[in-house]
Amino acid sequence: MRKMMADKALVRRLSACETMGSATTICSDKTGTLTLNEMTVVECYAGLQKMDSPDSSSKLPSAFTSILVEGIAHNTTGSVFRSESGEIQVSGSPTERAILNWAIKLGMDFDALKSESSAVQFFPFNSEKKRGGVAVKSPDSSVHIHWKGAAEIVLGSCTHYMDESESFVDMSEDKMGGLKDAIDDMAARSLRCVAIAFRTFEADKIPTDEEQLSRWELPEDDLILLAIVGIKDPCRPGVKNSVLLCQQAGVKVRMVTGDNIQTAKAIALECGILASDSDASEPNLIEGKVFRSYSEEERDRICEEISVMGRSSPNDKLLLVQSLKRRGHVVAVTGDGTNDAPALHEADIGLAMGIQGTEVAKEKSDIIILDDNFESVVKVVRWGRSVYANIQKFIQFQLTVNVAALVINVVAAISAGEVPLTAVQLLWVNLIMDTLGALALATEPPTDHLMDRAPVGRREPLITNIMWRNLFIQAMYQVTVLLILNFRGISILHLKSKPNAERVKNTVIFNAFVICQVFNEFNARKPDEINIFRGVLRNHLFVGIISITIVLQVVIVEFLGTFASTTKLDWEMWLVCIGIGSISWPLAVIGKLIPVPETPVSQYFRINRWRRNSSG
């Protein structure tokens, strides 16, 4: 947990770590996760006129600027204030901050505007409608309805625009088409496009009763376009490599964003989610409203092909998650808003953003990404695979010890009436296996090698065919050698002349058995790799536990003979035990060259059981 915290991931539910290792797809937000969340207005159209410098008010008529900044000051969830040092500070969402900073450069006095005019009704930005509005009453009692939101949506409600002479000009189809082309051009350059518009309204038509006013819906028609701004939010450095790493690991990254489809396409190409323009067609690139218009069967059919969903709502994200799960995917979802809570809850792994995320989103999540960075999401995938792999390593090691100890004692008891491994010795072996073994193998740090394999399927067995192969080879070797020592050890070890030959033989069996486990712990570190020593010195805990195990084994054999039913061994017997244990290393190398079938062992038992039931 502490190590994952160092990688900017706060785990709220432990089971999510293992599940994340099986993730087959990540549905990621764009803003702040794939991008830097550092937004700046870099392009502006005032009416139909493109401004050479987006933050220059000198070329704008005073009345135009006045009505524009009035709308920006009131139609926002952000705020402007002065710090103790006197510097102007802006708060709010990244988009709000970008527009407020732009308005300040245009000469906006936030506090003065707030005091001179008052907001009668406020409609906060809605992720479904993609816009927000406010009704503002000016000192002269005139009322302006201001709207701000997704450029193509707000533009669709505009019937006029304000030109450089401060006149309201009809919005013809040609002019509307020209502005739509400008929006597409900005979106193709990965700019977020926001339109700002207003209309006048009769003051006497505003409800005076508070209850009626709370239910009053702001007029959305006959708007007058003021400006369209293009906001740049650059991709995070390294995010393209992270996306490629996920793709190599068999994890498909899908972008689900509320931005314009062209903006989403441009960012997806920049991030590597889309390989080329030829990929940017339905259903690979789709709008949320199109996806939600399909039936459930149609959504299930196309969901796996979707790489980018633009102009999507939180409900579209939820529908996508549900479709992917029905198709058998293990789905991870990133989210930061309150409306993302259903998708975070529905997903197999919900990843909330720690900086921009709301408390509701964090509460519904399994893991919180503390720096809102997609690279941290990839690190969580690597950690998840590491947790799962470490569990498998420990199980392989544990089963090898159990099978070998059980077979040795059972065969010896049946054939000779005595067991070579006493109860105290088995307790010590179990201490190695359960406590020290778990600490040594379960703390292996994640490696890049984990991202070279495909995700583990939902129904894949925990014990793989590779594990069964390794387990069988090591257990059979230990059982064979130690049973030979049990029945022929006195003669093989030349102990006939010694008065305590039987006790020495049993001590050698016990000592060789423990040392076999020490050597096999190295094998268990890398179940499917030839080089079992790669990275071993970086895991100081593993090296420390191996050292402690060896020291304790020497103490038990040499100094606790009465307690452990052992006797002191000379250096020749120690070399014999070490030699027996060391053979497990080349044996493991040879074993890993043996191919294993792809069909899990458990599947063969199901097939045979089905055949017996069918024949019966």
Q: Is 344 in contact with 318 (CB distance < 8 Å)?
A: no
Residue of 358, 457, 456, 455 whose CA lies nearest to 29: 358
CA distances (Å), origin 44, targets 55, 57, 79:
8, 11, 22
Residue of 175, 178, 198, 164 whose CA lies nearest to 57: 164
What single-letter amino acid sits at 539? Answer: N
Q: Is 229 in contact with 43 (CB distance < 8 Å)?
A: yes
Three-state DSSP class for 349? strand
User: Is 348 annotated in the active site?
Assistant: no
CA distances (Å), origin 397, targets 20, 391, 412, 449:
24, 10, 23, 21
Structure-token pair, residue 358:
């709301």
Phi, psi angles (nearest 5°) of residue 231: -110, 125
Q: What angle do CA 179, 64, 260 make, to 5 degrees?
A: 30
| Whole-number Å distance between alpha carbons of 607 and 212 | 69
Q: Is 107 left (phi over 0), alpha (psi -120 to 50) or beta?
A: left
Residue of 8, 35, 38 whose CA lies nearest to 255: 35
Q: What angle do CA 174, 127, 225 make, to 5 degrees?
A: 30
Given strand 367-369, what is the order of strands in its sheet?
A: 9-11, 367-369, 349-353, 331-335, 25-28, 252-256, 308-310, 285-287
What single-letter amino acid sits at 365? Answer: S
> Which residues contact residue 55 at a Cβ distance below 8 angstroms, ignoring those fewer than 6 apart?
41, 102, 105, 106
Please pick, among 7, 29, 336, 434, the residue that the annotation labels catalytic: 29
Q: Is 316 in contact with 292 (CB distance < 8 Å)?
A: yes
Three-state DSSP class for 281? coil
Written as one string, the DSSP assignment of 523-582 is: HHH-TT-S-TTTTGGG-HHHHHHHHHHHHHHHHHHHH-HHHHT-----HHHHHHHHHHHH
CA distances (Å), origin 312, targets 108, 157, 284, 288, 299:
32, 20, 14, 4, 14
CA distances (Å), origin 413, targets 281, 488, 505, 585:
71, 15, 16, 29
| Whole-number Å distance between alpha carbons of 584 and 587 | 5
Q: What angle do CA 380, 382, 387 make, to 5 degrees?
A: 90
Structure-token pair, residue 494:
């030349």
Would you please indicate which residues are annotated as catalytic (active-site) residues? 29
